[in-house]
Amino acid sequence: MRIISKTALEARAMLLSILVLGFLPLEIVGCRSPESHPAASSEAQGAAQSATKTYRLEGTVVSIDRQQKRIVVDHKEIPGFMGAMTMPYPVVDDQTLDRVKPRDEITADVVATSSDVHLDNIVVVKKSDTQK
């Protein structure tokens, strides 16, 4: 693993999250027809659910941002989604933030929708060596 300064790591992670989260809505906007109207909302919800994709992540927790409910993960390539990198991922609950520690090795599902990317089903497969 390369050693990268914390500032450079945070800047790289922020840039990547902006790119990933910024382009997801553009994909959906380009697919909408001008005839869309509120009566078709159940159809839209069904389409949004079918647009949800789940990918398998394996990596190491770098840091935890409790205020923004995110963990930064140095992960392996996620086939069909992205290459190996270190980046922040939102999590949906505080209990997840309490269960993981920096340097824990984890697996998780990356859940990607048209407007959101977050981690779910996080499993610590190897605890860090530090006692904190």
pLDDT of residue 34: 47
User: Could you tell me the pTM of the whole model?
Assistant: 0.62
pLDDT of residue 41: 52
Q: List pLDDT tens digits, range 11-36.
A: 566 555 655 555 555 454 455 544 44
Q: Are 87 and 17 in contact (CB under 8 A)?
A: yes
pLDDT of residue 129: 79
Q: Which domains are seen in the chain, by residue range?
A: 6-126 (2.40.50.320)
Q: List pLDDT tens digits, range 31-43.
A: 554 444 454 555 5
Q: What are phi and psi of 41, to 5 degrees?
A: -60, -35
pLDDT of residue 121: 94
The pairing of strands 85-90 and 70-75 is antiparallel
